[in-house]
Amino acid sequence: MFNAPDAHEADRLLKLATEKYRTTAPKLAEWMERSVPGELTVFTRPAAPRRRLRTSNMLERLNKEIKRHTRVATLFPNEASLLRLVSAVLTEVDEEWQTRKNHLNTETD
C-alpha cells in the first residue's frame, strides 16, 4: 500500500489487507485499521519526496552519525556530557539539512 500511486489506491489496498487477515490474524487486522491510516498521510505530500518520507533511511543515517561521534568519545563522565555531544551533532545535521536545498526537493526524486 505504501507503493501505491495515490491515497485512494493506498486506502483500497489497506482495506484488502485488513479483510485478508481479519479471520487468520484479527489483532493484526484491528491494528492495521487503527494505525495504518495515520501512516498514509505521506500521500498528502508531492509524489517526488514520498519515497524518502516513507522509509527510515534518513533516520538510520542520523543514528549512524550519532554513533560515530559517540564511539570516539567512548567514556562520558555524566549524562549531561553525552547530551551535549549528541545535541551538537543533531544541531550540525539540522543546519546542514536547512542549508542543503535539495535534501527533500519536491521537484525531483
The reported pLDDT for the residue numbered 42 is: 81
| pLDDT, block means (10 residues), the chain with 109 residues | 85 94 94 89 78 73 86 80 89 83 52
Domain boundaries, the chain: 7-44, 54-99
Query: Taking a C-beta distance cutoff of 8 angstroms, is the pair 2, 17 a contact?
Result: no
The reported pLDDT for the residue numbered 105 is: 54
The reported pLDDT for the residue numbered 46 is: 78
The reported pLDDT for the residue numbered 109 is: 45
The reported pLDDT for the residue numbered 71 is: 82
Residue 32 C-alpha from the chain's centroid = 18
What is the rounded CA–CA span in Å between residue 81 and residue 75? Answer: 10
What is the 8-class DSSP label of residue 50? H
The reported pLDDT for the residue numbered 54 is: 65
The reported pLDDT for the residue numbered 103 is: 52
